[in-house]
C-alpha cells in the first residue's frame, strides 16, 4: 500500500511535468497550427543552458533565470521567427517535418557541444523524505507536483482573467474574427511561443534533477507530451492537464506492477484506446473551424 | 447635397491571382439602410472584406466620412466608427458571453468608457446578460447573431456592415434582427447589409444595389429596385430564379 502511494505520488509528479509540456504543445497547435515534434528536445535544452551558466560560475537562482531567458529567446522568439513563420507559409505538414529535423539538430548539437554523457542537475526544490504516520514519502515528488500545478493555475488565471489572456484565447479560437475586432493577432501568437518556451524551461528544471540532463532526454518526454495532448483532446488546456497526469500515473504504475520492459508500450495502448473509442480525446470537442 | 458616409470607388480586389471585384463603385448615404443583392459568388462578401481591410484593394479608393480608409487595418476602422458583422458564426465558442462581448472593445480609444458601453448594450440585449457566464458556443444560432451585433455596437459605430444576418435563423429571429437594424437607422446609424432574403431586406431598406461579377449593376432606391422587373426575375423569386433553383 505504501509503495502504491509513493508510486502514485511519483506518477503525479512526472504527470504534472508532462502536463506542462503538453499544455505548451496544445497552445502552439491552437494559435499557430504548429505541431512541434521537437517539443521533447525543447525540454532537454534549457537544462543545458543552466549547466552552461553554472559552469561560468553563476549561482543556481541566477543560472535558472538565465536559462529561462535564453529558452524564451531561442525556443520562443527564434523558433518562431526563423522556422515557424517561413515554413507555415508552405503548410502545416512541411512545418511539422521541419520540427522533426529541428529535434535531431538540437540533440546532435547538445551532444557535440556539451557531452554525450548524462549530467547531474541541481534541484531548486526541497528534497529528502517525509515520514508520515510511519510511511516514507518523497518530498521531491510532492514539491514537483505542487510547483507544476501552481504554474498551471497561474497560466490559467492569466488566460482567463486578464485582457491579454482573453485576446490570446480569442486568437486561438478564431484568429480571423480576433483580427476583425482589432486584436493584435501576431503579437498574441508570439506570446504563445514565449509561454511555451517558459513551460518547457520549467519542465526542464523540474525533471532534470530526477532523470539527469542528457541529450537524448527529450525522446520519451516528447512522446509522452504528444500522447498526453492527444489523449486530453489536443485542443484543450484542461485536456492536456488530465492527459499528462493520467499518463504519468499509468506510466509509473505500469513500470512497477506490469514490467519495466512494457513500460514504454502502455502509453501507446492508452493512445490507441482513446483514438478508437473517443477520437476527440477525453476532454476535447470535435474540431470545428469557420472558413 | 449630403455627403455619403461611405464611398467606394473603382475597387479591384481578389484572392491571389484571381480578380473578383472589377471596379466596384457605390455610395452609402448617412442614416440609411442600403442592401446589396446579387447572385452567389458575385463578390458581395468580398466587397465587405475589402472595405474592412481584410483583403487588399489593388486599385480604387474607399472613403468613410470623408477620410481615406483604403486598406486601413480593422483596428483603425473600428476606432473611426465602422463595424463589421461577417457571414456565418463569428464568436469565440469557448469564452463566455461577457468575455465575447468585451472583446468588441479592444480597439476603443482610451477615452471610451467600456464598462458603461457594455452596460448599455446589455440593457438592450437582456438575453446576453442572462446568459453572460455561459460559454458562447452554447447559445442558439440566433442568440449568437445577437451577440455578434451587440459586440459590434460596443464602440458606438456610425456605419455597420452586416453580411447575411438572417441566414440560418428562425423566421422570428429574422424579424428580431431586422427590427434591430431599423432601430439602428432610427438612431442615425447607417447600415450596409448583404441579404439573400432580398425582398424582405429591400422592404426595410432605403437604397439597394445589385452586384454582378464584381461590378455594380444597378444602384437605386430600394423601392425602385423592388418594382424593377429585371430585379424581380433574378433575385426576388421571379420566373428565372424558380426554374434555375
Ligand atoms: N477566401 C477565398 N479564397 C479564394 N476564393 C474565394 C475566397 N472567398 C471567396 N472566394 C471566391 O470569390 C468569389 C466571390 O465570393 P463572395 O464570397 O464574395 O461571394 P458572395 O457574393 O458573397 O456569394 P454568396 O452569396 O455565396 O455569399 C467566389 O467565386 C468565391 O468562390
Ligand atoms: Mg457572401
3 state SS for A211-260: HCECCCCHHHHHHHHHHHHHHHCCCCHHHHHHHHHHHHHHHHHHHHHCCC
Which ligand is in closest contact with the Cα of B21?
1
Find the CB nearest B107 among A173, A176, A181: A181
At residue B211, what are phi and psi to the nearest 5 degrees?
-110, 135
Q: Picking from A202-206, A230-234, A286-290, B233-237, which range would have the lowest pLDDT averaged per residue? A: A286-290
pTM: 0.87
DSSP H/E element including B7? strand B6-15
What's the pLDDT tens digit per position in A249-260? 988 888 888 777
**Per-residue model confidence (pLDDT) at position A291:** 38
Interatomic CA distance for residues A203 and A207, integer angstroms:
6
Which of chain A's residues have a Cβ under 8 Å away from the Cβ of B73?
182
Regarding the beta carbon of B45 and ligand 1, being less than 6 Å apart is answered yes
Ligand 2 midpoint to CA A173 (Å): 22
| Euclidean distance between CA atoms A208 and A134, whole angstroms | 29
For all residues of chain A together, what is the average pLDDT?
88
In 3-state terms, what secondary structure has residue A116? coil
Tell me: pLDDT of B62 over 90: yes
pLDDT of the residue at A154:
95
Which percentage of chain A shows pLDDT scores above 70?
Answer: 93
Rounded to an integer, the average pLDDT of A195-203 is: 97
Residue B244: pLDDT band (50, 70, 90) is very low
B147 or A250, greater pLDDT: B147
**pLDDT at res. B238:** 52
Q: What is the pLDDT of residue A211?
A: 87
Contacts of A290 in chain B (CB under 8 A): 88-90
How far apart are alpha carbons A144 and A150 in whole angstroms? 10
Is the pLDDT at A127 greater than 70? The verdict is yes
Of the pLDDT bands very low, low, confident and very high (cuts 50, 70, 90), residue B116 is very high
Q: Which residue has better confidence, A289 or B30?
A: B30
Residue B17 Cβ inside 6 Å of ligand 1? The answer reads no
Per-residue confidence (pLDDT) for residue A238, from 0 to 100: 85
Helices (H), A114-182: 139-161, 163-173, 175-180
Cell numbers placing A262: 512494457
CA A205 to centroid of ligand 2, rounded, Å:
52
Q: Which residue has the higher pLDDT, A46 or A255?
A: A46
At residue A86 the predicted structure's pLDDT band, cuts being 50, 70 and 90, is very high
Whole-complex ipTM: 0.89
User: pLDDT per residue over A215-248, tens digit each?
Assistant: 888 888 888 888 888 887 766 788 889 899 999 9
The CATH-assigned architecture of domain B1-81+157-245 is 3-Layer(aba) Sandwich (3.40)
Q: Return the H-helix or E-strand segment holding B84.
A: strand B82-85
Res. A62: pLDDT tops 90: yes
Give all domains of chain A, ordered by start, each with its CATH number. 2-277 (1.10.3470)
Q: Would you say residue B105 has pLDDT above 60? A: yes
- The answer to which of A166-180, A234-248, B127-141, B169-183 has the lowest mean pLDDT is A234-248
Q: How confident is the model at residue A273 (pLDDT cuts 50, 70, 90)?
A: confident
Min distance B79 CA to chain A CA atoms (Å):
9
pLDDT of amino acid A1? 63
When pLDDT is averaged across residues A6-24 and rounded to a whole number, the result is 92
**pLDDT band at residue A290, thresholds of 50, 70 and 90?**
very low
Where, residue-wise, is CATH 3.40.50.300 in chain B?
1-81+157-245
A19, pLDDT greater than 80: yes
Chain B residues closer than 8 Å to A173 by CB: 92-95
Selecting from B52, B73, B88 the residue whose C-beta is nearest the C-beta of A290 gives B88
To the nearest whole angstrom, how far is the Cα of B75 from the nearest Cα of chain A?
Answer: 4
Query: Higher-confidence residue: A119 or A278?
Result: A119
Q: Is residue B125 predicted with pLDDT exceeding 80?
A: yes
Confidence band of B50 (pLDDT split at 50, 70, 90)? very high
Cα torsion angle, A223, A225, A228, A233, sign: negative
Amino acid at each position: 500500500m505504501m509503495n502504491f502511494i509513493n508510486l502514485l505520488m511519483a506518477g503525479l509528479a512526472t504527470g504534472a511535468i508532462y502536463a506542462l509540456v503538453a499544455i505548451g504543445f496544445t497552445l502552439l497547435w491552437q494559435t499557430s497550427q504548429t505541431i512541434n515534434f521537437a517539443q521533447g528536445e525543447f525540454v532537454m535544452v534549457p537544462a543545458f543552458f543552466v549547466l552552461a551558466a553554472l559552469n561560468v560560475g553563476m549561482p543556481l537562482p541566477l543560472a535558472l533565470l538565465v536559462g529561462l531567458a535564453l529558452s524564451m529567446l531561442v525556443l520562443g522568439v527564434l523558433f518562431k521567427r526563423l522556422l515557424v513563420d517561413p515554413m507555415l507559409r508552405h503548410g502545416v505538414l512541411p512545418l511539422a517535418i521541419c520540427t522533426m529535423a529541428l529535434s535531431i539538430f538540437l540533440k546532435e548539437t547538445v551532444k557535440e557541444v556539451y557531452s554525450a554523457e548524462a549530467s547531474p542537475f541541481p534541484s531548486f526544490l526541497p528534497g529528502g523524505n517525509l515520514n508520515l504516520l510511519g510511511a516514507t514519502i518523497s518530498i521531491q515528488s510532492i514539491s514537483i507536483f505542487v510547483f507544476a500545478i501552481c504554474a498551471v493555475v497561474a497560466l490559467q488565471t492569466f488566460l482567463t482573467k486578464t485582457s491579454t489572456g482573453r485576446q490570446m484565447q480569442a486568437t486561438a479560437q478564431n484568429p480571423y474574427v480576433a483580427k476583425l475586432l482589432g486584436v493584435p493577432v501576431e503579437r498574441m501568437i508570439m506570446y504563445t511561443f514565449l509561454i511555451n518556451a517558459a513551460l518547457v524551461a520549467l519542465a526542464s528544471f523540474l525533471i532534470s534533477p530526477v532523470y539527469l540532463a542528457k541529450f537524448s532526454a527529450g525522446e520519451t518526454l516528447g512522446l509522452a507530451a504528444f500522447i498526453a495532448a492527444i489523449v486530453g483532446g489536443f485542443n484543450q488546456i484542461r485536456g492536456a492537464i488530465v492527459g499528462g497526469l493520467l499518463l504519468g500515473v499509468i506510466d509509473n504504475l505500469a513500470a512497477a506492477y506490469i514490467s519495466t520492459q512494457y513500460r514504454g508500450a502502455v502509453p501507446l495502448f492508452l493512445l490507441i484506446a482513446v483514438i478508437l473509442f473517443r477520437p476527440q480525446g477525453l476532454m476535447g470537442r470535435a474540431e470545428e473551424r469557420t472558413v | 447635397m449630403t455627403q455619403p458616409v461611405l464611398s467606394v470607388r473603382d475597387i479591384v480586389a481578389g484572392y491571389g491571382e484571381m480578380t473578383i471585384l472589377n471596379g466596384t463603385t457605390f455610395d452609402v448615404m448617412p442614416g440609411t439602410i442600403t442592401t446589396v443583392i446579387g447572385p452567389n459568388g458575385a463578390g458581395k462578401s468580398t466587397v465587405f472584406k475589402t472595405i474592412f481591410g481584410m483583403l487588399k484593394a489593388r486599385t480604387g479608393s474607399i472613403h468613410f466620412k470623408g477620410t481615406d480608409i483604403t486598406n486601413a487595418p480593422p483596428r483603425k476602422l473600428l476606432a473611426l466608427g465602422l463595424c463589421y458583422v461577417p457571414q456565418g458564426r463569428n464568436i469565440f465558442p469557448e469564452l463566455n458571453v461577457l468575455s465575447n462581448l468585451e472583446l468588441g472593445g479592444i480597439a476603443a480609444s482610451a477615452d471610451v468608457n467600456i464598462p458603461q458601453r457594455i452596460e448599455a448594450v446589455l440593457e438592450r440585449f437582456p438575453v446576453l446578460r442572462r446568459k453572460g457566464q455561459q460559454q458562447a458556443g452554447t447559445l442558439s444560432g440566433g442568440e449568437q447573431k445577437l451577440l455578434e451585433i451587440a459586440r459590434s455596437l460596443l464602440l458606438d459605430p456610425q456605419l455597420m456592415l452586416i453580411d447575411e444576418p438572417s441566414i440560418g435563423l428562425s423566421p422570428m429571429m429574422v424579424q428580431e434582427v431586422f427590427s434591430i437594424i431599423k432601430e439602428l437607422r432610427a438612431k442615425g446609424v447607417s447600415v450596409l447589409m448583404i441579404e439573400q432574403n432580398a425582398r424582405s431586406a429591400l422592404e426595410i431598406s432605403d437604397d439597394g444595389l445589385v452586384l454582378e461579377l464584381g461590378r455594380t449593376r444597378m444602384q437605386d432606391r430600394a423601392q425602385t429596385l423592388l418594382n424593377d422587373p429585371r430585379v424581380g426575375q433574378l433575385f426576388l423569386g421571379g420566373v428565372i430564379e424558380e426554374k434555375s433553383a
